[in-house]
Structure 1
Amino acid sequence: SDWIQLKSNILKNAENFALAIEQMSDTKLESVFLDKKYGTYRRNIEGMIEHCYYHLGQIVLIRKMINDQP
């Protein structure tokens, strides 16, 4: 189903993202991301992770709402 494929893609992309981060040096993580106003790579990576958790929480709430309907 589309839902199963979507979950599979998300997990695959998350694994690829984690592998890419693991290969980054501490120097790279602390370096400027594109422009100084955007902070460091580490700051942006942490922001992306937090943002993903936010959306995961939204998905969980929506699924609960759907499952609780009569």
Structure 2
Amino acid sequence: MNESVVAALRAGKPSWPEAARAAVYKAEQQRLAEEKEPELEARRPVCTGCGTRFTDIRREAVQLTDWG
């Protein structure tokens, strides 16, 4: 989509169908996720024994969920 279409959709113009707004939103969310990915990867924990980066599943398992 070109920038004028995206700007019109962001402005909430009623002439655009809801599906088009949803497509723009989804594309924007994907772009934001792609921008954050390198930062998240850089903060990924590393095993002190072998130096291997944790997988997403292991990372979730070692996250602190409660102080008590």
Coarse TM-score class (shorter-chain normalised): 0.3 to 0.5
Greater RCO (CA < 8 Å, at least 6 residues apart): 2
| Bigger Rg, structure 1 or 2 | 2
